[in-house]
A and B are shown apart, each in its own frame.
Chain A
C-alpha cells in the first residue's frame, strides 16, 4: 500500500528510458551513491557493482535477462483494465489508468510471455511496479489465470515474478477476489504436475504475498527485497514500537522459513536453468 510515496520518489522511470541507455549516461546507486556508467549497469542486470543494490526493473528487463536470445512470445497483451465500480477518489480511476498507461508505456501491472530459458520452455508472468505500484486488479488476475491455462496446454513450467504493493484499491472486492482466482488456478497447475517457481522481488506485499507469491513449489527472491503481508508502516502503527533491524527483508523471510533460496539477479538465468533442469531430468 506504499506505492504513492514511491511514485513520488520517482522510481517509475519508464522502462524504455532505462533499457535504451544512450552512451554517456550515468547511474547513481541510491544505496551507496556510487556512480556507474548506465550502459555497464544494464549489462550487470541493473545491479550496483559496488554494493549489489538491486535497482527496481520491469518486465522488459526481466524478459531480456531470462529468455534465450531475447526471443519470446508475449501473451494476452490486449487485455486492459475495466472500471466496473466507476471508482473515484481524489481522481477518477479511469483517468488514473490512462495516465499510468502513458507514463509507463505499459497496459497494466503484468506482462506474460513464453520463451526458452537455457533451452527449457518456460511461461512467465512478470509484474511491473511502474504501473500503479504493481497493484493487483482484474487484469493481473486474468492474465495470470490465462498464463496458467497456457502453461498447462503447452506443458511448460510456470514462473511469476512478483513486484507489487498489493491490492488495487480502486477495484475493491474485484481486486480481493484475484487472490482467490489465482490461487484456485494454481491448483490446476499442480494437478497437471507442472512446476511453479515464484520469484519475489522488491517489494512483494499485501494480497500478492497472501496468494500466488507464497504458493510456489519453490519460493525464491532477490536479495534485500521487502517481502511481507502487512506493510512495515502498518505494522509499526499497530505495535507502536520500532521495527527490528532487517524486518521483512528477503533474508529475514528466508531465516523464518518461507523462502527456499535467495537468488542474486545476476545469477537469475543460470540458476533458473539449473532449477528447470532439476524438474525436467
Chain B
C-alpha cells in the first residue's frame, strides 16, 4: 500500500493495526476489541482527512499509485468478457488508449479508455496514459463500429494529456482530437464518459463528448494541469496548490458550473481503498444511464447532446 503525504495519520493507524493483528496471531490472545477500535479510528481518520481535501490533494488522490485504471474497471464491469480490439487501421496500435467489446448483463457495450501502466515497464509501454493521434483514431474507429451495430459506448478518462511529441505533431494530434469532438457529437448511440482519474485538457476531451459526462469523486478535469498552469501563469512550478484552487477543477466545481452531468461517489479514502465497491458503483451507474438514454429517439439523443455542449460558457451581453 502506498500513502500520500497528507494520509500519514491513516498510514500510522494501519501499521498499528497490522502489528496488533500479528501479535494476536503469535500470542493467541484475543485482540478483536483492539482491532475494532483501531478500525474505527482508521475510518474516522479517513473521514476527517477526506472530508476536507484541498483541490491540490484531490489532484494527488487522482494520481494515487494504488488507484485502479481503465482495464481493471472494464474487466470487473464485463465480468471478464471484455475482448480488446487493436489498431487505428492506419498507422499502429496505441497502447495509451484501449478499447473493445464486452458484455454487461447480457448487453454488448463498447468500452474505450485511457490506460496507465501498473508498473515501471508498463508505464512506459502505456506512455503514462498519454495518447498519440493513433489512440484517438482507434477510439473513433471503435466508436463508429459500435454505432454501426447500435451498441452503447462507455469511455473511461484518465490522462495527464495528449502526448506532445514530434511524431504526434507529424501525424496530426490536433486533427485527431478535433475529429473525435466532431464525430462524437453526432454518434447515434448513447455515450457515457466517466473521468476515473486525471482529466487533462484536449487529451481527455478527445474521448469525452457524451450524453452523460460524470466524474468520480476524487478526480479532476480542466484545461491544464495545476503544475503547468502554475509554470505559465506564475512562471514557477511552486504555485500548483494555488493553481489547483483557481482552476476550479474538482467534481463539485465542475458540476456547479454545469460542465459535467454528475458525480459518482467513491469509497471513503478513495477508489483504491475498496476497488470492488467503486467498480460495482460505476457498473450500476453505467447501467442506469444507458437504460434511460436508450429510451430516447436517436434524433432527440443527438440534439440533447449537442445542445448541452453548446450551452457551456459564461459571457456578458449588452
Q: Which residue of B lies closest to A208 (CB)?
A: B174
Q: Which residue of A lies closest to B239 (CB)?
A: A89
Q: Which residue of A lies closest to B204 (CB)?
A: A176
The answer on a CB contact under 8 Å between B181 and A79 is no
The answer on a CB contact under 8 Å between A176 and B222 is yes
Q: Which residues of B contact A90 (CB under 8 A)?
A: 233-234
Instruction: State A228–B249 Cα separation when bound (angstroms).
Output: 26
Is A115 engaged at the interface, CB distance under 8 Å to the other chain? no
The answer on a CB contact under 8 Å between A230 and B318 is no
Q: Which residue of A lies closest to B201 (CB)?
A: A176
Contact with B along A151-192 (1 / 0, CB 8 A): 000000000000000010111111111111101111110000
The answer on a CB contact under 8 Å between B232 and A1 is yes
The answer on a CB contact under 8 Å between B259 and A174 is yes
Is B178 engaged at the interface, CB distance under 8 Å to the other chain? yes
Binds A, one of B26-34, B37-45, B278-286, B309-317: B309-317
Shortest CB distance B200–A (Å): 9
The answer on a CB contact under 8 Å between B223 and A80 is no
Cβ 8 A contact of A209, one of B165, B178, B315: B178
Given A85-B246, A142-B313, A207-B223, residue A228 in contact with residue B169 (CB < 8 A):
yes
The answer on a CB contact under 8 Å between B185 and A139 is no
Interface residues of B in 57-115 (CB under 8 A from A): none
Instruction: State A227–B281 Cα separation when bound (angstroms).
Output: 43
Binds B, one of A43-51, A120-128, A233-241: A233-241
Contact with B along A231-269 (1 / 0, CB 8 A): 000110011000110011000100011100000000000
Is A129 engaged at the interface, CB distance under 8 Å to the other chain? no
Is B144 engaged at the interface, CB distance under 8 Å to the other chain? no
The answer on a CB contact under 8 Å between B246 and A87 is yes
Given A173-B254, A207-B202, A256-B171, residue A181 in contact with residue B313 (CB < 8 A):
yes
Instruction: State A139–B314 Cα separation when bound (angstroms).
Output: 8
Shortest CB distance A220–B (Å): 14
Is A145 engaged at the interface, CB distance under 8 Å to the other chain? yes
Instruction: State A82–B201 Cα separation when bound (angstroms).
Output: 21
Q: Which residues of A contact B254 (CB under 8 A)?
A: 173
Binds B, one of A20-28, A34-42, A60-68, A210-218: A210-218
Given A181-B309, A228-B169, residue A173 in contact with residue B164 (CB < 8 A):
no
The answer on a CB contact under 8 Å between B232 and A169 is yes
The answer on a CB contact under 8 Å between B232 and A214 is no
Contact with A along B187-208 (1 / 0, CB 8 A): 0000000000000011001101
Cβ 8 A contact of B173, one of A4, A174, A210, A212: A210
Cβ 8 A contact of B246, one of A89, A138, A167, A244: A89
Given A81-B315, A142-B315, A180-B205, residue A172 in contact with residue B223 (CB < 8 A):
yes
Cβ 8 A contact of B168, one of A138, A181, A212, A230: A230
The answer on a CB contact under 8 Å between A235 and B316 is no
Given A89-B246, A172-B248, A176-B202, residue A184 in contact with residue B185 (CB < 8 A):
yes
Given A89-B233, A176-B205, residue A78 in contact with residue B318 (CB < 8 A):
yes
Cβ 8 A contact of A235, one of B164, B313, B315: B164
Is B277 engaged at the interface, CB distance under 8 Å to the other chain? no
Is A275 engaged at the interface, CB distance under 8 Å to the other chain? no
Is A30 engaged at the interface, CB distance under 8 Å to the other chain? no
Cβ 8 A contact of A210, one of B178, B246, B259, B314: B178
Interface residues of B in 225-281 (CB under 8 A from A): 229, 232-234, 242-243, 246-249, 254, 257, 259
Given A85-B248, A89-B233, residue A180 in contact with residue B177 (CB < 8 A):
no
Is A84 engaged at the interface, CB distance under 8 Å to the other chain? yes
Q: Which residues of A contact B10 (CB under 8 A)?
A: none
The answer on a CB contact under 8 Å between A239 and B165 is yes
Cβ 8 A contact of A186, one of B182, B206, B234: B182
The answer on a CB contact under 8 Å between A185 and B310 is yes
Q: List 17 A-B contacts (CB under 8 A).
A: A79-B315, A88-B246, A138-B313, A141-B313, A172-B222, A173-B248, A174-B313, A178-B312, A181-B310, A181-B313, A207-B202, A207-B223, A210-B202, A213-B174, A235-B166, A235-B169, A256-B172
Identify the B interface with A (CB < 8 A): 162-166, 168-175, 177-179, 181-182, 185-186, 201-202, 205-206, 208-209, 221-224, 229, 232-234, 242-243, 246-249, 254, 257, 259, 305-306, 309-310, 312-318
List of 9 A-B pairs having minimum Cβ-Cβ separation, nearest first: A230-B164, A138-B313, A209-B174, A183-B181, A229-B174, A89-B233, A184-B185, A84-B314, A82-B314
